Amino acid sequence: MSLHRPPRLLERILDWAVPTGLSGHATLGDLAEEFQRRAEASPLRARLWYLVQTGSIMFYRVFMRQRGERTVGNGALVMDLRWSFRSILRHPGFFLGVVGVLGVGLGANAGVFSVVDGTLESVRWWSDPGATVAIWPEREVSFGQLDLYSQDQNIYRSFGGYSELAFALRTPGGESVSVNGVMITPALFRELAVQRAYGRALADEDAIFGVEPVVVIGEGLWRRSFGADPAIIGTRVSISGAAVTVVGVQGPGSAAPGGRAELWLPLVMDPRNDDFWKAQTITLIGVLREDATLGQAQDELVTFTGRLSQLFPMFYPPGFADGRATVGLADKAQRRLVSTPLLLLLAGTTLLMIVTALNVGNLLLGRAIDRRRELAVRVSLGARRSRIVRQLLVEGFVFTALAFAIGLSIASFAGRWLASLFVGDAIVASSSVFSPSVLFYSLGIAALTWLVVNGVPIAHFLRTGRSGLRVVPDSGAAMQRTLVVVQAALATLLLISATLLVATVDNLRKVPLGFATGGLVTLELSPPEDRVATAPVARTLYDGLIENVSSVSGVEAAGLTGWLPLRTQAPTTPINLETFPVEPAQATKAPMHMVDPGFFEVFDVQPLQGRLLGSQDRGAEPSAVVVNQTLADMLWPDGSAVGQRIAIDPHAWMTWVPVVGVVRDIRSGEITGPVGPALYVSLAESPSRDVTLVVRTDGPTAALIPTLRRTIRSVDELVPIRAVQGMDEVVRAAYATSWVMMGLLIVLAIMATVLGAIGIYGVLAHHVALSRKEIGLRMALGAAPGVVVGGVVRSGLLLAVIGIGIGSVAAAMSTRFLESLLYEVSALAPWAFVTPALALAVAAGMAAWVPAARAGRLPPADVLRGD
Amino acid sequence: MSQDYLGEFEQMVLLSIMRLGKGAYGLAIRDELERVAGRSPSSGSLYTTLDRMEKKGLVQSHEGESTRERGGRPRRYVRVTAEGRAFLARCRSTLLALWDGLEGALDR
């Protein structure tokens, strides 16, 4: 049994709050014991429970201490509440403003957190994330390699792999729909975090080649297409043309692996199939035995890559995997990928929350200064200072509690809206803001807010409580100013981050793609294996698709490609030169794109030299190659590319294929970085299961999509359509994260700036109000209004400048966290620091001008007479 | 006089302690209250009540064993004092006297 310790911080708070001696000691012990009991069921719920208990004990300690009190709600607390509400009613506008601002801040925080939480939860694929290892995540392996590995391994209790695919499923209604699925080793399937709703899991016997095929279907699909019929277990469905028995229904939230996978089939393949060793599509996963370590897993992988070199020295020369074959926790890499921008965003909203809380604290401090006479009178009449502190705490609590309620109601919308901004399925909001972790976090932030909001006036009161009756000129002003400086610093930090992202997105938009995106629609297809088994069979399908789609009215051109630009990186292939042959391992490598002639037409690519791939290039093996400019310059700097002969199949390393043309560079894998070398071969000669149909239309694309879908189904209803997207969406998706982060940081930065300006305004207005006499006197003595106004504005600007300085230093130290999101912008670009500084200074100047002008208009005589 | 009678919650806590006998400590009392009376008091109210009743002399506590899952902290076993029992007895007889003759009144 493992020992669960209660949250240390809460325990420390309690230790301080409970009475000394046995009573307090035993209380903490009881709580620890109960925590242990609850944590075994759910650690998160146990923490939440502990928080609630801490709250209840603190509540009783603070409010129920007086002797003789026997029941809740008597005396002190009620009086404090009444006092709070009275002071709220005296300034309802102030109250509403404060609660509204805090509420929005808390809502934004809880919303962002719910997205972070939901996203991290959704990448919890495996039931034992602490032991589930991604083996060699740098590459995918073939069936043969998986087989080889599993024979040798002895440190995993479950071992296997999965491969993501799309299938054509025939629904009971007779319609053929495209469904994403995963072929997975049964042992691994049983390690998935998701529970089954009905039926059984995939069993090891299901993955023996030749047995009756079975499938487990996802809950969503079961509801959508099978009317949630429990009798589906044992029935047969048609998947990509084969009759497959349904043995189970996977429970809700069955996210992964494979994104929105809704079909799980046993990973099995005919060992006689060519692809058994050739097709590298399997991701390796292992679940470590209890006594095994990651270090052992790494050693075993090294042994395995060594064995590959031994068996196939031609493809895997000794040392080929040095440093490029690693193991790591399976969920971790996934988590890091999705969480980096979100955590940055969370940091941003937390900063904003601090700015907001400081601002409110400042406002309350202003009121405390105004009220110091009232408080001082009460102190001298015998009110205990602890009592007054308590009243201030209750008042702050009322503020925060109401703001918290508003915040939570905002949070669920905010979270869902935020998640919808990110393209793709990786980012999801928590199903409910009332999930324990989101509540826990928001309560924590609310408590922090309460502390900041209250700490400021209370600290002031404790310092001046005794001397309150004597009028200390401008007392508390130093604290108010410090707070404004901190706000300005935080606003600067956010503004600089936002500026860097604006520049990034601008740079990304200017990246030359090599083609125009307007009017292009992409349809990802995933034909079943037998439709592309041989070149002639595949040709029938491809020709049928192009012919039929081209004849749809509104379609200007249609082309097929194995790898869509900006979507995925094509696999690289070694290139052997006839004039200078080398071993495959030493050869130059370049991504190989399988395309049909229509591809060049759709993307408007003209040959720079020679010709494009055409309808004559349709043998059983690649018979012609087109290279891009970069590759041509790399291999034949003298410009003699066309007519050269190269080999591109390591299995046929001396089979020469002529280079027939050179085309301009087209961006393929990522939008950032240089466009690398690329070569194009005819899709008809190297059929692929994953092809994208790209269509150029002469009008709006959306209206054509249903027709295109119908046309594809009419060609072959077993060809599933995985996704339909406009090419401009594909391009946008390539920098969507930077784009969304930019938008959100701009919003945060503007809010922080406005709040900072309000803070400066508040402090100066308060200062002017308090120094009315002094100002009046100076003006009566002949000071020009301009001098008075200038003085006030200067003092405001001074605060802003100090804050900007501190914020810039903080930004210089922290913007490197943004670096992974930046493109062609230095995290320390001087202009990214100067522009926000100027903007903030202008805002500060404007905020200072208002109270300054008021000071300049003060009629001296009235001021001196007044009060 | 305020101390002649006990609040309902205090009575329930005292009775739970007596039911538990030697094994009465914070957590056990809470479980007992939940099991028998269907009430799960917050930690704040339970421990404050125990402290208060000890101050009034209705219960007495002594240090018990400490275990690993308690972070090495001891249990605080409580027992009801003679004074506590007298209070309970008085409450009970008062209530019974008030109920006297009313047994059928609730059925109607």
Q: Token pair for residue A816?
A: 């490197």
Residues facing A199 on adjacent strands = A248
For chain A, the C-alpha Rg in angstroms (whole number) is: 34
How many residue pairs from chains A and B have C-beta atoms closer than 8 A?
86
Judging contacts by C-beta atoms under 8 Å, the chain B residues touching residue A61 are 44, 48
Task: Kindly state whether residues A543 and A683 are assigned to the same domain.
Answer: yes
User: How many residues comprise chain A?
Assistant: 867
Strand-pairing partners, residue A288, are A156
CB–CB of A225/A171 below 8 Å?
yes
Q: Which two three-digit tokens encode residue A699?
A: 């009008």
Q: Tell me the whole-structure pTM to 2 decimals.
A: 0.61
Q: Which amino acid is at B19?
A: R
Name the nearest CA neighbour of A106 among A372, A363, A349, A419: A349
- Span A716-725, pLDDT tens digits: 888 888 778 8
Q: Tell me the mean pLDDT in the region B49-56.
A: 87
For chain B, what is the mean pLDDT? 84
Residue A867 has pLDDT above 60, yes or no: no
CB of B49 within 8 Å of a chain A CB? The answer is: no
Whole-angstrom Cα distance, residue A475 to residue A481? 11
Contact A715, A544 (CB under 8 A): yes
CA separation for the pair A158, A155 (Å, rounded) = 9
Amino acid, single-letter form, for residue A530: D
Provide CB contacts within 8 A for A740, sequence distance 6+: A341, A421, A422
> What's the gap in Å between the CA of B103 and the closest CA on chain A?
30
Cα distance between residue A558 and residue A537, in whole Å: 20
Backbone φ/ψ region at A29: left (φ over 0), alpha (ψ -120 to 50), beta: alpha
**Tokens encoding A20:** 């000394």
With beta carbons under 8 A apart, name residues in chain A contacting B69: 3, 32-33, 36
CB A842 within 8 A of CB A863: no
pLDDT at A310: 87
Of A687, A721, A595, nearest to A275 by C-alpha is A687
A73: pLDDT confidence band, cut at 50, 70 and 90? very low
Per DSSP, chain B holds a count of helices (H) and strands (E) of 4, 2
The CATH number covering residue B21 comes to 1.10.10.10
Q: Where are the alpha helices (DSSP H) in A227-293?
A: 275-278
| pLDDT tens-digit map of A670-682 | 777 677 889 999 8
Residue B22 in domain: yes
Burial class, B44, CB count within 10 angstroms (exposed 0-12 / middle 13-18 / buried 19+): buried
Convert the pLDDT of each residue in A17-69 to its tens digit. 777 778 888 888 999 999 988 888 888 888 888 988 888 887 777 665 544 44
pLDDT digits (tens, 9 = 90+) for A507-545: 888 878 878 888 899 998 888 777 887 888 888 888 899
A511-520 burial, b if ≥16 CB within 10 A, otherwise e? bebbbebebb
Burial letters for A259-285: b for 16+ Cβ neighbours within 10 Å, e otherwise? Answer: eebbbbbbbbbeeeeebebebebbbbb
Q: Are A711 and A565 within one domain?
A: yes
Query: Whole-angstrom Cα distance, residue A350 to residue A133?
Result: 33
Residue A836 lies in a domain: yes
Q: What is the pLDDT of residue B29?
A: 92
Can you tell me the distance from the alpha carbon of A387 to that of A368, in angstroms, rounded to the nearest whole number?
Answer: 15
Mark yes or no for CB contact B51/A33 under 8 Å. no
Does residue A437 sit in the same domain as residue A576? no
- How far is the alpha carbon of B7 from chain A, nearest alpha carbon, in Å? 8
ipTM: 0.85
From chain A, pick out residues whose CB is under 8 angstroms from the CB of B61.
Answer: 22-23, 26
The per-residue pLDDT for A192 is 85
Distance CA(A32)–CA(B70), nearest Å, equals: 5
> In chain B, what are the helix, strand and coil shares in percent, each to the nearest 5?
60, 15, 25
Residues contacting A342, CB < 8 A, separation 6+? A112, A115, A116, A119, A427
Query: Which of B25, B29, B56, B76 has the most A C-beta neighbours within 10 Å, making it the best mutation to test the interface with A?
Result: B76
Tell me if chain A has a CB within 8 Å of the CB of B23: no
pLDDT surpasses 60 at A70: no
In-domain check, residue B108? no
Q: Give me the number of domains chain B comprises.
A: 1
Residue A40 is assigned to a structural domain of this protein: yes
Amino acid letter for position A271: P
Higher pLDDT, A417 or A303: A303
pLDDT of residue A694: 92
The answer to whether residue A266 is domain-embedded is: yes
Q: Compute CA distances A131 → A12, A151, A286, A300, A696, whole Å.
A: 32, 20, 8, 16, 48
Parallel, antiparallel, or unpaired for β A236-239 and A196-199?
A: unpaired
Report the percentage of chain A scoring pLDDT > 90: 11
Residue to mutate among A60, A64, A72, with most B CBs inside 10 A, is A60
Whether B76 contacts chain A with CB within 8 A: yes
The one-letter amino acid code at A807 reads: G
- From chain B, the residues in CB contact with A22 under 8 A are 61, 63, 74, 76
Number of domains comprising chain A: 5
Residue A315 lies in a domain: no
**Are both A269 and A246 inside the same structural domain?**
yes
Query: Where is the domain boundary, A719, A749, A767?
Result: A719
Q: Are residues A685 and A551 in the same domain?
A: yes
Residue A72, in any domain of the structure = no
Query: What is the chain A residue with the closest CA to B51?
Result: A23
Helix (H) / strand (E) element for A87: namely: helix A76-90
- Per-residue pLDDT tens digits for A813-824: 888 777 777 788
**Residue ranges making up the domain that contains B36:** 2-98
Residue of A nearest to B69 (CA): A33
B104 within a domain of the structure (yes/no): no
Pairwise pLDDT comparison (A788 vs A489), residue with the higher score:
A489
Is residue A330 situated within a structural domain? no
- Cα-Cα-Cα-Cα torsion A186, A321, A306, A126, nearest 10 degrees, comes to -20
> Nearest-CA neighbor of B74 among B57, B82, B62, B84?
B62
Give the residue from A63, A89, A109 where a domain finishes: A63
Full domain range(s) for residue A203: 138-292
User: Between the CA of residue B20 and those of A35, A319, B27, B87, what are the distances in Å?
Assistant: 22, 71, 11, 18
| pLDDT at A655 exceeding the cut of 90 | no
Rounded CA-CA distance A405/A839 in Å is: 34
Query: What is the three-class DSSP state of A238?
Result: strand
Enumerate chain A positions whose Cβ falls within 8 A of a Cβ in B. Answer: 3, 5-6, 11, 18-19, 22-23, 25-34, 36, 52-53, 55-61, 64, 68, 70-72
Q: Does A497 score more than 80 pLDDT?
A: yes
Q: Residues A792, A793, A795, CA angle at the centre, nearest 5°?
A: 65
Q: Is residue B30 part of a domain?
A: yes
Q: Is residue B71 part of a domain?
A: yes
Please tell me whether residues A597 and A628 are part of one structural domain: yes
Question: In angstroms, what is the C-alpha Rg of chain B?
Answer: 16
In the prediction, which pLDDT does A75 show? 57
Q: Quick check: A231 and A151 in contact, CB under 8 A? A: no
Q: Which residues contact A381 (CB under 8 A, 6 or more apart)?
A: none
Report the DSSP beta bridge partners of residue A177. Answer: A169
The letter for the amino acid at B68 is R
- Cβ atoms of A93 and A290 within 8 Å: the answer is no
**What percent of chain A clears pLDDT 70, i.e. is strictly above it?**
90
| Partner residue facing A26 (CB), from B2, B52, B75 | B75
Residues A116 and A144 both lie in one domain: no
Tell me the mean pLDDT in the region B29-33: 91
